[in-house]
């Protein structure tokens, strides 16, 4: 496919009836939210969920888990982390990478929690995103998993699926998240993250999507635009 043609198809969006059909097919073919779904990286409370989500940026799950475990062994409250020297925090979270930047953001987030929110993690997207180091994806993950709100968190897999199929559109994950929220019917928002995430891993993979056998290929603008 030429670059111009590929760009044209990438800018296409599914019509509302097609969006509804795609979600119904996802519901029938992909696993949804389970009763045991836990907070980000299986953390037991909102604060540790936020911290682990921040640490997960550009980090493999196993490295994030190691960094979180090491940090929480030292402190697991905003005040406790603020009381640690920066070098101590950086050394603990080193497995997650970008440890100097993440240390600064963690300290700023903890300070903002104490100064602006009485040490309590806010439950709204706006409140979460007001915290240093918490972006749209992290906020939506915490809202969905920790506070059980019906929102679709957009990670790399969901971002790819949305833009390939024409379900939603955005150059960044945050832009795609806003487009997806506007275009997703309310009934699909609770399980949508789980359906799209598993679909992105098992069917619409980054390098080798299984287009020929995909159960939504009759809707997909990427598949329709292939040579």
> Hunting for tokens 């979180």 — which residue is that?
68
My answer on whether 12 and 83 are in the same domain is no
For residue 37, the model assigns a pLDDT of 55
Residue 123 carries which DSSP code?
-
Residues designated catalytic: 137, 155
pTM: 0.84
What is the domain extent for residue 192?
A: 3-32+151-224
CATH number of the structural domain spanning residue 116: 1.10.340.30
What is the largest distance, in Å, between two alpha-carbon atoms of the chain? 60
Give CA–CA dist 199/180, Å, rounded: 16
My answer on whether 162 and 96 are in the same domain is no
Residue 225 or 37, more confident:
225
Q: What are phi and psi of 205, to 5 degrees?
A: -65, 160
My answer on whether 15 and 79 are in the same domain is no
- How far from 17 is each of 3, 22, 194, 209, CA to CA, in Å? 29, 9, 21, 24
Q: Which tens digit of pLDDT belongs to each residue from 41-83? A: 456 789 999 999 999 988 988 999 999 999 999 999 999 999 9
CATH number of the structural domain spanning residue 196: 1.10.1670.10
SS3 36: coil
Give CA–CA dist 172/156, Å, rounded: 10
For residue 44, the model assigns a pLDDT of 73
The radius of gyration of the chain from alpha carbons, rounded to an integer in Å, stands at 19
Total tally of structural domains belonging to the chain: 2
- How far from 176 is each of 5, 89, 102, 218, CA to CA, in Å? 21, 33, 25, 22
């Amino acid at each position: 496919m030429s670059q111009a043609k590929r760009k044209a198809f990438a800018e296409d969006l599914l019509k509302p009836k097609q969006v509804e059909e795609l979600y119904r097919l996802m519901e029938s073919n992909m696993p949804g939210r389970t009763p045991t779904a836990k907070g980000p990286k299986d953390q037991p409370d909102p604060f540790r969920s936020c911290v682990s989500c921040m640490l997960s940026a550009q980090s493999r799950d196993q490295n994030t888990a190691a960094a979180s475990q090491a940090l929480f062994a030292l402190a697991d409250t905003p005040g406790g982390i603020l009381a640690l020297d920066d070098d101590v925090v950086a050394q603990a979270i080193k497995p997650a990478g970008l440890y100097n930047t993440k240390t600064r953001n963690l300290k700023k987030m903890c300070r903002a929690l104490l100064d602006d929110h009485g040490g309590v993690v806010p439950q709204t997207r706006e409140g979460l995103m007001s915290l240093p180091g918490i972006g749209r994806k992290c906020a939506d993950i915490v809202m969905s998993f920790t506070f059980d709100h019906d929102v679709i968190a957009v990670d790399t897999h969901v971002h790819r699926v949305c833009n390939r199929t024409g379900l939603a559109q955005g150059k960044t994950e945050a832009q795609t998240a806003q487009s997806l929220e506007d275009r997703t019917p309310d009934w699909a928002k609770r399980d949508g993250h789980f359906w799209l995430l598993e679909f992105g891993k098992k069917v619409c993979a980054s390098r080798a999507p299984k287009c020929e056998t995909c159960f939504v290929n009759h809707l997909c603008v990427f598949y329709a635009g292939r040579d």
